[in-house]
């Protein structure tokens, strides 16, 4: 439950620090490290992960507790040196989770989202998906088996996650002697770079010596170019999450034997035919001819701001909501995030997302007041308005002019 409560405080803290980073970047005339569309896409993915994490946190704690109670090889007491030991072990497990996340297709499918942004700033640290979070916790399940109790593990993971946030910036230069001990922003800039000499380097999260020990360290020399080696060229919330799963599925279907299919799943990402993605993009990402004016930015800011406020309140009072309320709030936020991506992509069907969100909100309001007849009246009213008035045209003129 402490992990859930932390979300209510972590989200505004992250936004505050990101705001400071942006203000500093502007003051030194480097505001180009932020791009509006990229920042909206980055934060949208982060909101979705934090939202879904609210449902997963208690489950992870129970799993860790069960593993510790039934399968712990040792029972490590909590004192100052065992906390240091736990931090070191956690970082070592992270190193191998992270490395495999780059070297194995089924793991890269979840991790690729974190590397899609062609910006590199604190908003990029938010690009974690719920699937990637689950994958990380599977690896961290080793910690209670080694003898660290669930409270220790969950606490150290908060520290671990907080540290990694601060390495996602171009505003902090090299840090002298600290570069020899810790993963610094300079080291992590290398990790996010698409430059050939920087690929698959610097997997560590806190300590740099794992990369040096296992031969994956590279110092920052040439200016990094961020993003994927084959840029995604899309801000679609759904496409960013699932494009590589679709590519992997298409590649697996081409294999003639079960052995070949399994080998591909466990192979490196470069084994996937690069021509698959453009083919899928033409099928799933049909571009609209709608032009975007300046108003869409204001609308996206309002939507994302509202989502962040709702997420903080939802996290702070999570245990006070019943199952239906949790479901309706979750659907509303997710529809909003998909809507943001659809607006960035100029999708004509974004209007239907708006209608869906209004219906969900009406349902939530009627559920709160316990009046199903009111919901029926709301549906009739919404339908009548949509049929009798040119709402769709009004919407496009308002958002995209």
- Band (139; pLDDT cuts 50, 70, 90): very high
- The whole-angstrom separation of Cα 140 and Cα 93 is 7
**The whole model's pTM is what?**
0.92
For residue range 103-131, list pLDDT tens digits in order.
999 999 999 999 999 999 999 999 999 99
Give every CB contact of residue 8 below 8 A, 6+ residues apart in sequence: 312, 313, 315, 316
Q: DSSP label at 349? A: T
Q: Which two tokens stand for residue 273?
A: 């035919």
Give every CB contact of residue 10 below 8 A, 6+ residues apart in sequence: 50
- The whole-angstrom separation of Cα 232 and Cα 246 is 13
Q: Please answer whether residues 85 and 76 qualify as being in contact, where contact means their C-beta atoms are separated by less than 8 angstroms.
A: yes
Q: Which two tokens stand for residue 260?
A: 């070949």
- Band (142; pLDDT cuts 50, 70, 90): very high
- The whole-angstrom separation of Cα 305 and Cα 308 is 5
- The whole-angstrom separation of Cα 207 and Cα 192 is 17
The per-residue pLDDT for 293 is 65
Helices (H), 218-294: 237-254, 258-265, 276-284
The per-residue pLDDT for 291 is 56
The per-residue pLDDT for 242 is 95
The per-residue pLDDT for 68 is 97
For residue range 7-25, list pLDDT tens digits in order.
778 889 999 999 999 999 9
């Amino acid at each position: 439950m402490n992990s859930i409560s932390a979300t209510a405080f972590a989200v505004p803290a992250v936004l505050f620090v990101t705001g400071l980073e942006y203000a500093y970047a502007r003051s030194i005339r480097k505001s180009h490290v932020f791009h509006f569309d990229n920042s909206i896409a980055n934060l949208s993915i982060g909101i979705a992960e934090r939202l879904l994490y609210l449902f997963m946190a208690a489950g992870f704690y129970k799993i860790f507790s069960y593993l510790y109670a039934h399968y712990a090889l040792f029972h490590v007491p909590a004192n100052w040196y065992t906390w240091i030991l736990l931090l070191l072990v956690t970082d070592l497990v992270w190193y191998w989770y992270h490395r495999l996340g780059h070297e194995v297709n089924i793991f890269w499918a979840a991790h690729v989202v974190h590397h899609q942004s062609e910006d590199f700033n604190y908003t990029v640290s938010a690009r974690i998906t719920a699937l990637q979070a689950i994958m990380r916790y599977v690896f961290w399940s080793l910690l209670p088996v080694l003898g660290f109790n669930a409270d220790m593990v969950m606490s150290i993971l908060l520290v671990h996650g907080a540290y990694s946030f601060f390495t996602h910036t171009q505003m902090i230069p090299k840090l002298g002697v600290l570069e020899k001990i810790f993963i610094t922003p300079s080291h992590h800039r290398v990790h996010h770079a698409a430059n050939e000499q920087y690929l698959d380097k610097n997997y560590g999260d806190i300590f740099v010596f794992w990369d040096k020990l296992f031969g994956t360290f590279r110092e920052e020399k040439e200016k990094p170019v961020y993003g994927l080696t084959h840029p995604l060229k899309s801000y679609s919330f759904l496409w960013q999450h699932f494009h590589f799963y679709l590519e992997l599925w298409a590649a697996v279907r081409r294999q003639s034997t079960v052995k070949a299919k399994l080998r591909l799943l466990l192979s490196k990402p470069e084994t996937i035919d690069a021509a698959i993605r453009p083919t899928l993009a033409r099928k799933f990402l049909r571009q609209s001819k709608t032009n975007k004016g300046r108003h869409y930015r204001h609308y996206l800011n309002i939507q994302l701001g509202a989502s962040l406020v709702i997420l903080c309140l939802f996290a702070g009072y999570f245990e006070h909501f019943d199952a239906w309320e949790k479901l309706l709030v979750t659907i509303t936020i997710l529809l909003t995030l998909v809507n943001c991506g659809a607006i960035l992509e100029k999708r004509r069907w974004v209007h239907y997302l708006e209608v869906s969100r209004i219906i969900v909100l009406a349902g939530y309001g009627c559920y709160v007041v316990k009046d199903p007849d009111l919901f029926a009246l709301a549906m009739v009213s919404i339908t009548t308005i949509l049929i009798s008035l040119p709402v769709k045209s009004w919407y496009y003129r308002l958002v995209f002019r």
